[in-house]
Amino acid sequence: MPTYDPIVEAYMPNLENLKKQAKLILRWHRERHYPVAPQIRGHLPRFQNMPDSEILAASFKLGDAQEMVARQHGFDSWQALKTGLSATPLKAKTSPSKATIVRAEPQLFVSDIQRSCEFFTGKLGFSVVFSYGKPLYYAQVGRDGARLNLRRVERPVIEATVRDAEELLSASMTVATADEIKLLFLEYQSTGVTFHQTLKKQPWGAKNFIVKDPDGNLLQFAGPAN
């Protein structure tokens, strides 16, 4: 299932690549691909308060797509982006010697997409990146650099007692410092989440805690001990 995140901001591509990305966004909008609607809403202020269906039904031109690409790169407009590109020295093109994986997105199996989205946004401070299907059967939630894909299933994939006894994690997320893992634990403690394990210092030099979502998925949050 694609996440439709068209811009990887690890580098500044050339203008021709940016034009192609804008045309791709425009095509997705014309083809009514629901995952692109949250991307539009998140980057173009005039779509900020519109639901996905209205965004996909609204007038959306190439200029809108170009503005969206510009904002994804930190510019206010397409013209500002072009000016910024012209002021940046071009690097010689080189073919990569190996592929680079830029993101991992664990998939959680859940029984109710809406309930899961409400849990992640209300309890864990995530936001909904997109949701898909009528009725809903797929969604993505994100917080900072973390992305979790939610897939609806009719029955549990893993037997609950086995998962708890073996601590079979569905996802593991990390923060950079010891202060941050403590802050995150206190944040989640205040929202009333169910902990499978509270904050604990581990022998291998980390501190972690494990949260249980409404479907019993175990989510580990970890950081340095010192």
**Blockwise average pLDDT, block size 10, the chain, 226 residues:** 41 73 89 82 89 90 92 87 72 67 87 96 93 89 91 91 93 93 96 96 94 97 92
Query: Quick one: pLDDT at residue 152?
Result: 95
Q: Is the pTM above the cut of 0.75?
A: no
Both tokens assigned to 50: 């519109």
Q: 149: helix, coil or strand?
A: strand
In the chain, which residue ranges form alpha helices assigned H by DSSP?
15-30, 36-43, 52-57, 62-72, 78-86, 113-122, 160-166, 178-191
Query: Quick one: pLDDT at residue 2?
Result: 42
Domain residue ranges of the chain, discontinuous segments joined by + = 15-86, 107-224
Query: Quick one: pLDDT at residue 13?
Result: 56
**Full strand arrangement of the beta sheet holding 107-110:** 107-110, 146-152, 138-143, 127-132
Burial label for 105, CB within 10 Å (0-12, 13-18, 19+), is middle
The separation between CA 105 and the C-alpha centre of its own chain, rounded to angstroms, equals 8
Query: Quick one: pLDDT at residue 10?
Result: 38
CB atoms within 10 A of CB 12: 14
Query: Quick one: pLDDT at residue 89?
Result: 55
Query: Quick one: pLDDT at residue 74?
Result: 80
Q: What is the CATH number of domain 107-224?
A: 3.10.180.10
